[in-house]
Structure 1
Amino acid sequence: MSEPNDIIYGVHPVAEALKNPRRKIYSLKASRNAADRLAEEIAARGLEPEIVHPNVLDRRLGEEAVHQGLLIEAAPLRQPHLDEIDRRGIVVMLDQVTDPHNVGAILRSCAAFNVTALVATTRHSPEASAVLFKSASGAYEHVPFVKVTNLARAIAELKGYGFRILGLDSEAPEDIGAVDAAPPVAIVLGAEGKGLRQLTRDTCDLVVKLPFQGPIRSLNVSNACAVALYALSLADRPARP
């Protein structure tokens, strides 16, 4: 049984999909203004957009969708298996983070910090969807999104490839900036409210926290991911002479 097509809308997601040579695009619907805005990207792919009124896209996607006059249908991207990813750099792992808005925002941070891959479980994680693509703002085209059956086994596999595994928890005893976090390293983020599951915590090499100074000691998981990736990027910088 073939997978359903990816539905991608919005200026940034569509622009990045058009620029991605791995994307097989079946159709492009666009308002006249939106087609003019992405004329260069559309021409580079040799596509002839179907010019439609924005109301057509409203009816297709729902009035809540911020489509900005653009909609493409494309074949799903082939995503790698865990043993196919680059065994250098930083990997982000999600422990039952299910909100597609959060996962999309995490993908965006991963792209900004040149993360090797985002890893999530097949169950208890969002499918590739129009909402996730929109929230990722084009980052889905750039960051490998690996699905695994069992997170603890995936952590053990990464350890075998030389990765150090850091779990993120607001109650951890050590700050992320105070530990050896030089790549290859993986940071594991738990679901909002529940945090890391006990088995996940036990499988990590170390559990760390973000060094908050104010009265609030936790962040939305996507914001926590961005801050953690910044901290890890500092660990990877060469020392100044």
Structure 2
Amino acid sequence: MSELVVEKISKLYQGEPILSEVSFSVKDGEFVALLGPSGSGKSTLFHLIGGISKPEQGAFYLDGINITGQRGAISYTPQSPSLFPWRTIIDNVVLGLEIHAKPDYDRARTMLQKAGLSGYEEAYPHQLSGGMQQRVAFVRALLSPQDFICLDEPFSALDEFTRLEMQKWLLTIWEENRQSVLFVTHNIEEALFLSDRVIVLSSKPAQIKKEFVVPFERPRREELLLSEEFLKWKKAIYQELQGNHDERHH
């Protein structure tokens, strides 16, 4: 079980409001994308959920337990893979497990194999491409003992082709485990392709502007990206985000 409830979170940065009474939830086994313009406080929200900083008001609940300001309750993958350069790939992926329990090297090897990283177990991060390093970071998140995973724009540094491959790979892996995921992105197509729900944030101070329940069945296929239905949804979300842009200029 792993349900996150975000309740009326407000946060100031240098006296300026960044988040204003943000409330939403991620149900057990649900994949939710948080979509907003750059600088809309998406990463700030992650830091708050992860307990790196505390909100001015509001609370976070994981399975009914208040985790506000607590570290270690969730698994977090930042924008850059942030692997330890002195540790081998296999030692990087078991890191989360190592902190909490005895590392399961067999499972780690299986996951790396599924990630297309067979034969790289004993390599070091600098020997891998950006996309491969990102996959290592994912495997580490999926192997962490926490059931709730926060992914912060993990594909933003990749080219479009690699990005799509990574999205498909992530979905395949996720289908097997169905962990609860909160995924931050500013890419509409990515949000639609991956998620069960897309939550649109307004520009600063960020508030929940609209929520879209994605109707596409799983498992998702690449052809979906070119369908009429997909483009219709993409347009609706784009207009919602454009509204943010227009409000700022009035």
* Shared fold (TM-score, shorter chain, > 0.5): no
| Shorter-chain TM band | under 0.3
The structure with the largest alpha-carbon Rg is 1
* TM superposition score normalised by structure 2: 0.23
* TM superposition score normalised by structure 1: 0.24
